[in-house]
Amino acid sequence: MKRLRWDGVAERLSRAARIQLLYVLLNAGLKRRAIAKLCDVCPGAVSNWLFSSLHHPSNIATTSLLRAAWSRDPDAVRNILRDEAGRFASELRKLGIKLHRGVKLSTISRGLHRGVKFTGV
């Protein structure tokens, strides 16, 4: 079987969540050029992420956005992750898929909301 690459938690974040992380950084005062440098992309790529529905940050860029956003506004990142967990659980339920017995994503997301430490990416 072919071995597949794993890019970490970024693989589980939707396009919408990736763009929300970008806005956390913009709202914290970072300029597009600084975000581009942080993500190792050209400034035009950041503009495309913001203004084109066809483009979004890659997994590697998303990891950089997540780290930077967490260091600037952990509460906003917690909210984004909590919403993602809820959306993911909802989509699984629509497919008739129940997660492990006794473990609910809503419990995990409440923990994020209460300030359970996120130890980075």
pTM of the model: 0.76
Give 73's contacts (C-beta < 8 A, 6+ positions apart). 24, 27, 28
Identify whether 2 is part of a domain: no
Q: Which domain holds residue 21?
A: 9-114
Give 57's contacts (C-beta < 8 A, 6+ positions apart). 18, 19, 21, 22, 39, 49, 65
Burial class (CB in 10 A: 0-12, 13-18, 19+), 110: middle
Separation between Cα atoms, residue 9 and residue 43, nearest integer Å: 24
For the domain that residue 53 is a member of, what is the CATH number?
1.10.260
Identify whether 119 is part of a domain: no
Each residue's pLDDT tens digit, 70-95 = 999 999 999 999 999 989 888 888 99
Each residue's pLDDT tens digit, 15-42 = 999 999 999 999 999 999 999 999 999 9
